[in-house]
Amino acid sequence: MDSQLLLELYKKQAKMIYFYLKKNGCSHEDSEDIVQESYMKYIAYSSGVPSDKALSYIFTIALNEFRKKLKKRGKEQVITVDDLHFWNNFANDQDTVSSVLHSEMNQEITRTLEHMKEVYRQLLVLKYELELSYQEIALLLGMKVETVRTYLFRARKEFQEIWRTLHG
């Protein structure tokens, strides 16, 4: 693989992966280590990976490394959400926003997200917390843009259903 391309990928995408790990409760040091380890593993095994799938491959490695660290420590994944920011980007319905703002938003949003499928949780955090575009999410996860749109639609619906179940 071209070292210039790898350096460019690292500069642009490492921060995105780092912040995603931080949002999911990973410490600063562990996030940096995981990003580095992911790129090192990619370099070691890149011969079998098409260049257009490089970022999704690295992201998958990073998630797997994060899960391994959690499992070793016997910890559960903790999602940190800037509640007001999340809802300003996510909610369009004023009634929902009003009711959420009057409850303990951060704990309740996190609790709701914890009940969701992992892929939906990832997509919601990437879209509404990290404010990535559909194209950036598709590139990061190695999906088609239309698949990202469909999954995000389903994720929003699932979030609403779980929210209603927990607070209805």
| 28-53 average pLDDT score | 85
- Of 30, 103, 109, which is closest to residue 63 (Cα–Cα)? 30
Across the range 139-160, mean pLDDT stands at 93
User: Would the pLDDT of 117 be above 60?
Assistant: yes
How far is the CA of 54 from the CAs of 8, 22, 73, 120, in angstroms?
12, 21, 29, 22
Q: Which pair of tokens denotes residue 110?
A: 């996190």
> pTM for the full model?
0.64
Burial call 31-56: b when 16+ CB within 10 Å, e when fewer: beebbeebbebbeeebeeeeeeebbb
User: Tell me, what's the pLDDT at 97?
Assistant: 46
When pLDDT is cut at 50, 70 and 90, the band that residue 84 belongs to is: low
Task: Indicate if the pLDDT at residue 83 is higher than 60.
Answer: no
Q: What is the pLDDT of residue 87?
A: 56
Map tokens 């409760």 to a residue. 25
